[in-house]
Chain A
Amino acid sequence: MLPSPFQFERPSTIADAVRAVGDSGDGMFYAGGTELLLALKMRVIRIDRLIDIKGIPGLDCIAVNGMNEIEIGARCTHRKISGDPVIREHVPALASLCAEVANIRVRNVGTIGGNLCFGEPHADPPTMLAALNARLVLEGSRGTREVYADDFIRSEMETVREPDELLRVIVFPRPAGPVTYRRFKHGERPSVNVAMAWSLNPGRSTITSARVRVGALGSRPQPLTIVEGALRNVAVAEARRAIETALPAALDQLEVNADRHGGADYKRHLAGVLLLRNADEAIIAGGSWPK
């Protein structure tokens, strides 16, 4: 299948890219194209212009900033993130996640920013980035704004990003405890995924706070607030029991779609299984945190 014809522009600055999308007709930012080109080929998206952002310098940097936060440029490919020394040291679970997105060809060109902006519910990165309390920095014609990962995806295939806002960088605090991620999948996209991030006390014996997100079940990643509450100020050794106690009520609160990935009850059950496996990993990892 061939996409409909479009104009192709290669701006070299963010300002030029934002201006180019804002010009007359429908323009869209373009980087890896692993989702966008599929949609263009299937003619479910129509555009007049593709604005290629691959020539803009600085969008593929990964670093720890002066606020002890990790910054990932939106144009970083899954492959780059999976092999990056900063990510492997500070968030190994994110490196592993990116090493398992789709397949080797998609990981070579697909970007984390494109993944987020597409708003596909059956995706790996959004769930973990929400658990990491990430902020997404958008550059638009009206200036810069930050949106929390939790608020970015509005519904299936829809985000709060305006068409002329370019996602520049993803920022999250350097984790203060183990981060874990599990998924279950039939094809290449997750049917259910669960990410959990703990902050530990200096003695590593107690969970001071926990963030738990379940993805792919509804239109966007959902917090398991009951589990988060049950884990607050709980000894690491008691974490599994705390989760097991809170789990039935927490799972009941999830919005779960029945789709080709499975029935609602089945997928809700899987979310619980994956969460407990995350917990088992986090309990072991907690004892040796930081490495």
Chain B
Amino acid sequence: MTQVLAISFSLNGKTIAVDVPAHVLLIDLIRDRLGLRGTKRSCDMEVCGACTVLLDGEPISSCTTLAVDVDRRAVTTIEGVTPPDGLSRIQEAFVLHGGLQCGFCTPGFIMAVTALLETTPHPTDAEIRHYLDGNLCRCTGYTKIFEAVKSLARRQDAA
């Protein structure tokens, strides 16, 4: 029997109130009900990172999170970190360093890097590699993505 629960949460800074069946996953709520398609489903088992969103600022896999679990919490998706008139500095760095080709893994990477730089504005090389270890890319390769993130750490150092 399907049980429907009323939840209320912040989505990219806006308060959302919806009724969701208890077994519905966060990724389906975000993409299908709320129409934010930037978050991608790929492995569907918390390994690839394509579906990464931030829950209270920390990266989680939206493919394996119950929608009811974000009740009274704050969810940030790729749409929430993209300025209306262009790109964020993280997205710009990915473009400048050629850190994307097909772009399917990119939203997940951007969300992970957003969380990393929020808590660690000047990550070491090892910290970047360790944090992004769970985001998979199957066409660009990791060197350019790593260099994009490294450029942000450096730029902040110089500032």
Do the two chains bind?
Answer: yes
**Does A50 have its Cβ within 8 Å of any Cβ on chain B?**
yes
> Hey, which chain A residues are within 8 Å of B60, CB to CB?
105, 108-109
> Hey, which chain B residues are within 8 Å of A145, CB to CB?
none
- Which residue in A6, A38, A188 is a CB contact (below 8 Å) of B22? A6
Chain B interface size band reads 20 to 34
Decide yes or no: A3 and B61 within 8 Å by CB, A104-B134, A105-B134, A106-B46 being known contacts. Answer: no
Q: Per-residue 0/1 for B51-85: is the Cβ within 8 Å of any A Cβ (1 yes, 0 no)?
A: 01001001111001110110000000000000000
B20-34 contacts to A, CB under 8 A, are: 21-25, 28
Question: Do B65 and A188 have beta carbons less than 8 Å apart?
Answer: no
- Which residue in A1, A7, A40, A104 is a CB contact (below 8 Å) of B131? A104
Residues on B close to A: CB < 8 A? 1-3, 5, 21-25, 28, 44-47, 49, 52, 55, 58-61, 64-66, 68-69, 112, 115, 130-131, 133-135
Query: Smallest Cβ distance from A191 to chain B, in angstroms?
Result: 16
Residue of B nearest to A108 (CB): B58
Question: Do B134 and A37 have beta carbons less than 8 Å apart?
Answer: no
> Hey, which chain A residues are within 8 Å of B47, CB to CB?
103, 187-188
A161-197 contacts to B, CB under 8 A, are: 187-188
Question: Do B64 and A7 have beta carbons less than 8 Å apart?
Answer: no
> Hey, which chain B residues are within 8 Å of A54, CB to CB?
69
**Does A88 have its Cβ within 8 Å of any Cβ on chain B?**
no
Question: Do B58 and A38 have beta carbons less than 8 Å apart?
Answer: no
- Which residue in B3, B22, B112 is a CB contact (below 8 Å) of A104? B112
Question: Do A105 and B46 have beta carbons less than 8 Å apart?
Answer: yes
